[in-house]
Structure 1
Amino acid sequence: MKPSTSAASGEAASILILIDGLEANTPGGTERQALWFASVLHEAGYQVVVYVLRGIPLTAGMTYPFEIVYGEIAKPFSPSGFAALWRLTRWMRARRFQMLQTFLLESNLLGPVLAKLAGVPAVLGHRRNVNHWMSRRFAFLQSLADRGVDGFLANSEQVKKSVVSVERVPAHKVTVLYNGIEHSRFSSAAGRQDVRRRLGFAEGDTVIGTVATLRPIKGLDDLIAAASDLAPKHPAMRVLLVGDGPHRGALETKARTAGLEQRIRFAGSQNDVPSFLAAMDIAVLPSLAEGFSNALLEYMAAGLPIVATDVGGNREALGETGLLVPPGQPEALAEAIARLVRDPELRRRLGAAAQDRVRSQFGIDAARQRFLEYVRSALETTAGS
């Protein structure tokens, strides 16, 4: 698909992606998705710039073929922040962007205003989480800013409902575009024995694992509580946490207090996620809130049986191929995990069904095509208005 072009110059349209931060060298789910969208646009021939309001530049191991600008706007609502935002507006005007796409809290709020001042004709707002945290005051301010947005992309029906109800956006302006995944990357069991050996897991251990940024919203306290309940009844059970984050110290303390330090492995951030998934027997997503979890799609692609909380788009992703439990209830989480620990045949059937579902419903190529079609249509609509 050829990219839309600027009517004035005939060149491929220039698109700015505005995002709050990149969380140093371990970007979270939304940050990774923003960089993926930027890569898709770049590969399609668009001129792409990612502007980060604040953050530590990515290391050489995480380079991208498009321009990334770091603004160092730590406090956008302070006097110095307003001055920096005005400089950003002038820069945007000078670069003559045809579209602005926004990700995360402050970018979603400020982006439409900056675009209006800078003369950017098309604004696309990405929404990737339910607005569980949004106060009435902030929701009101966001609803005012949303008047300057031409369209919204939500990554699940639940996120769309949240945008409509909380931000008061008309439903016809919100399009659902599910995340896609390169499922072939996760379908091999290569690396299973090596990772398990390095982590000290025995051949007969049943490894319950999760991949997440270690933050309270991910519900990992509930997973440790569930593991504490299961430990006396299932001596071969082990827990593997892949990822890092600000809550790691508190989780390690909780594990020690529960007497689980010999059963839980904190593996930290890992580049070779497929090998660590291969080392697991059961995958758990205990989040208190989600939009549409890429980690969940990765578990499905790896053919793992899954226990997930019934939040956000988890039900839309899993369908009938996993076990869903209420969020914030360690007892229910433990019961569902125990059911899978006891029943290897159920694990096999659910894992195979999940793998079939992700291959048929959530392919990366279909997601890429739909996104590019949406962007092209939005650019052509605003160019003709």
Structure 2
Amino acid sequence: MKTNILLCIDHLDPGGAQRQIIELAKRLPSSEFAITVCNLDQKKAMLKKEIEEMDITVKLLSQHGFFDLKTLIKLYNFIKKNNFDIVHTYLFTADTYGRICAILARTPVVIASMRSVDNWKNLLHKITDRILAIGTDKIIVNAKEIQKFLQKVEKISPKKIRVIYNGIDENLFGLKVNSEKIRKDLGLRNGDLLVGIFARNDPVKDHKTFFQASKIILNNFSNITFLAMGYGMTNASMKEIVRKLSIEDYVILMDHSTEYLSYLGSVDISVISSLTEGCSNVILESMALKKPVVATEVGGNPELIVNGKTGYLVPPKRADKLSSAIIKLLDDPLKREEMGNEGFVRAKNKFSMEQMIKQTDQLYRALLKKE
């Protein structure tokens, strides 16, 4: 008989956690595991079709507000009716709702997945996490920094926590990108430089600091373009930040594209200016595409980037430090190439999708065996 697994998540609009769920559902042996995906926010379900095309059922719910009793009851009934062997939750709301329901339904194995250092959590959130941890078999985190946060701030036992890093699709290594066409389409000339940031429009991604750094860089370079791609990047608020800095002529704002890896593979430098991160998929993808990375020294970023070898780490909200690190690479094409190659080797050896799937598979089996 197959092991019956529910993967439960806040929403199914594109994001790092969602991509990891899809890869997990796709790659776990279908002869041994039956996967169902539950999305708590049916208004955010852009990836539903992609999952259903893999012959995987997607259950949609319509959760409203932090505590929605109606949705809680529906989720409990769904879990109880389907007799799942494992309920594995992703992101805070699903971690809360999913674990409450799975524990009440006496699901044999309950797993939470925490993907970032959530400094925004208030006392109620932390107490909720601590109480639910009692009935949770394992909490998967994708960075050691998150493990430290859970132990120190939320007082969760280290025995409950397991670090499993995100994995990169093997097809990314050696992916052929027509960068000449991409750069031409963006209006670049031969010899022009391209610096990119690939992140959704969200305060935690701190695009403002990236654009402030861009303005500083323009004091040294004129043959340069800054590409900012991600969901919501063409919103009026983002355009206003760029306008106020008077850098419109050097910045291209683009919404997320299914071809974003081709754009990422065409930049000279990949930048992450986030205020917090877990295990950044964009950093891993940049490394797989042999791009040097300049990122903020937050969350799991230092676990991915070897400072001075595969990229540079800088303090958050410091446009001066960010611009200095970028300029250092812009001035040195050989260093860019060396760092890109070093990052490629590191990503391939340490952060493969195969490793992520294998470690998760082994954890599932070990926890089921204990039960």
TM-score bin (small chain): over 0.9
Please name the residue that 2:58 is paired with: 68
Please name the residue that 1:265 is paired with: 252
User: 1:146-173: CA deviations, max 9, x gaps?
Assistant: 1110011110110111121222211122
C-alpha change, 1:198 and 1:33, in structure 2 (3 Å) is same
Q: How does 1:239-250 map to 2 (within 5 A)?
A: 239-245=226-232, 248-250=235-237
- Kept after mapping to 2: 8 A contact 1:191/1:276: no
- Kept after mapping to 2: 8 A contact 1:183/1:358: no
Please name the residue that 1:21 is paired with: 11
User: 1:72-124: CA deviations, max 9, x gaps?
Assistant: 122352xxx31332132122111111111111111112222211221211101
Please name the residue that 1:299 is paired with: 286
C-alpha change, 1:200 and 1:44, in structure 2 (3 Å) is farther
Cα displacement (A) at 1:14: 0.7
Q: How does 1:128-277 map to 2 (within 5 A)?
A: 128-245=115-232, 248-277=235-264
Pairwise CA RMSD? 1.8
Cα displacement (A) at 1:348: 1.5
Aligned residues: 366
User: 1:43-71: CA deviations, max 9, x gaps?
Assistant: 46311111111133336863432111111
Cα displacement (A) at 1:371: 1.2
Question: Structure 1 length normalisation: TM-score?
Answer: 0.90
Please name the residue that 2:46 is paired with: 58
- Kept after mapping to 1: 8 A contact 2:170/2:352: yes
Please point out which of 10, 29, 35 is paired with 1:48: 35
Structure 1, 147-156 or 265-274: larger mean CA deviation: 265-274
Question: Structure 2 length normalisation: TM-score?
Answer: 0.94
Please point out which of 309, 330, 350 is paired with 1:361: 350
Please name the residue that 1:88 is paired with: 75
Please name the residue that 1:330 is paired with: 319
Is residue 115 of structure 1 aligned with residue 105 of structure 2?
no
C-alpha change, 1:190 and 1:20, in structure 2 (3 Å) is closer
2:8 counterpart letter in structure 1: L
Unpaired runs of at least 5, structure 1:
1-10
Unpaired runs of at least 5, structure 2:
none
C-alpha change, 1:83 and 1:268, in structure 2 (3 Å) is closer
Cα displacement (A) at 1:344: 1.2
- Kept after mapping to 2: 8 A contact 1:76/1:82: no
Cα displacement (A) at 1:232: 2.4
Cα displacement (A) at 1:183: 4.5
SS at match of 1:175: strand
1:71 counterpart letter in structure 2: L
SS at match of 1:262: helix
Identical-pair percentage:
27
- Moved segments of 4+, more than 6 Å: none
Cα displacement (A) at 1:131: 2.0
Is residue 290 of structure 1 aligned with residue 280 of structure 2?
no
SS at match of 2:248: coil
SS at match of 2:279: coil
User: Aligned partners of 2:30, 2:343: CA distance in 1, in Å?
Assistant: 30
SS at match of 2:59: strand
- Kept after mapping to 1: 8 A contact 2:288/2:344: yes
- Kept after mapping to 1: 8 A contact 2:2/2:31: no
User: Aligned partners of 1:276, 1:246: CA distance in 2, in Å?
Assistant: 15
User: Aligned partners of 1:279, 1:270: CA distance in 2, in Å?
Assistant: 14
Cα displacement (A) at 1:31: 2.2
User: 1:294-322: CA deviations, max 9, x gaps?
Assistant: 10001111111111111111111112421
C-alpha change, 1:87 and 1:359, in structure 2 (3 Å) is closer
- Kept after mapping to 2: 8 A contact 1:213/1:243: yes
